[in-house]
Structure 1
Amino acid sequence: MEISMEKDLLSPGAHDVAVDGLTQRYHVYGSGPVCVAMPGGPGVIWESLRMPAAEEFLTMVYVEPLGTGGSQRLPSHPDGYSRKRYTRSLVGLLDRLSLPLVILLGHSHGGFVAQYFALHHPDRLSGLVLYESAPVTGPPHIAEAGTKIEEFVRRHEGQAGLPRVLHGLQSMSVTDDEEITTTLRDLMPVFFANYWERENEFGSLRETISCTYISSLDEKLEPDIIDDRDTLPSLAVPTLVVVGRYDVQCGPRWAEELHALIPGSRLVVLEDSAHMGHLEEPAAFANALRDFTRSIPA
């Protein structure tokens, strides 16, 4: 893969720039208004968020967050990757690209980062897309995910591939890049509404997806607490909330709460998706994004 260094920073392909003294890698595809996409995990490769249907009407800038892929690791790795630190890096990237206003799309953990960014730098955004995000983590989030996992297991009882998923659920406390990648691949069916029925479409992603282990501790080795419920009602950025009906990690309960908290937000539920609606229902996902983009004041 050829990496562009300091030439046309919004030309198609992969680019490396120095931000805050660290290498920041990102990938550009498509044309139209700029949408910066922050993947989830944290630590999951950016390719899992690639959305060609959106590239037909948006210039998609897919970020490899610090510590992931070709972007540089912090000296404190695997700790220190707080939402504040990711936001600082994103601000620096927008400055390097000379982009005063963009649409920011955050998927899963990337949605938590996008929320934080929007609350602290609303002047840098024309729009915000919270895709499989939630206003809070911790015990309530864990309990809801547990309920959704039980529903997933019941729905797929007797499926030959279910024991591998259950093994992955028992291995979620791993702290090694190779082990967390293995666990992520074991768990892949959980991220889809009907993985085994469409394994010919999604199986290659399961074989190739990878993840870097990144802890939930900040640079002071304190948990990076996420609870935006008190501040989201002050958010004035046009916002689209997207969720898959069968999402286990950040399901409809949290999307509905985000929608209720954020004034004037739009809510789109993808009825045949779980956590990867841009792959499961690409046309519906792209249509929601296109309609939202058209609604943003010029």
Structure 2
Amino acid sequence: MKTRATFALMVAAALALPAVLSGCGADSAGATGAPATLRIGVIGTGNKLTGVIGYLKEKNKLLPLLAPAGITGVEVYSFPNGPDLNQALVARELDVASYGDTPSLVARGAGQPTRLIAQASVGLDAGVLAKKDGGPTSLAELAGKRVATQKGSYIHRYLLGALGDAGVKPGEIVHIYNTEIEAALERGDVDAVAVPSANFEALKNKGYPVIDVASKDHPQYLGTSSTVGSESFLDANAGFVKVWQQTQREGTKLAKANWDDYLDFAGKVGGFAPEITKATTLRGQLPDEPFTDKGLALLESTKKFLVKEGFVKTDFALDDWIAAGARG
């Protein structure tokens, strides 16, 4: 079975000698007397902030909220997946990153010097769909089959957990970015795919058969997001964590108070139809506080799974990862 070895190779590659990001500035916030620019890494395309932080930026409210930490500008860098983003963190080309729990945990377990400062999303859904016309109809029927997902992501972790619970060994799990996965499924290059909720909803609406839904069939494998800061940046900017956490609280309040407008923003950034955005962007996924019992429980469960399967090289306590003062 190639899946676990391939995952481990991707992790090693992501944490190896990194390439320098094109266009990234050399100075982090507070590092010089020049205007302090915060460099944020995210998953996606177009160098756009998503979620409640992105919503604040859209409304021209982000910089005023970050100002108490000396932030006068923000630069956003998009990456196709978590391992790629981890490369930039290793290279000290980012100050803060917001991405999925799995790649952030793997990086920390490999010794990457980050600190967790918040969870912006909790309970992220995913699902497995099959190709049309004679494709598999259950997890059991994925035995020996070719399954695609975006490796190194929380969706990959969900897929491995669901397959493990079912005692199923696919023939191969191949890495395909979410933006390209429909084409592979349509051509029949793969027998099934595991994708995040918006992609899942879009594919389901096009008639691709549903095999499994995380929130319904495997809620223990729901994902969370991780907002981390590099240790060097946080050490040099002692007040940043509190300012960022308050900014996230304000963004969540604003989004929930203007939900339809927030959905419009989410749809524009995500590129999905309004009905898909509405069905997959849920109030309950936006925690009112930077850390919640549910969010930390899901994160701990994910960490234990990754340690057990050998994806996290060295176990660690979440309390030791969380930034000083981040929990009150």
TM-score by length of 1: 0.34
Larger radius of gyration: 2
User: Could you say which structure has the higher helix fraction?
Assistant: 2
Work out which structure has the larger RCO, using CA pairs closer than 8 Å and 6 or more positions apart in sequence.
Answer: 2
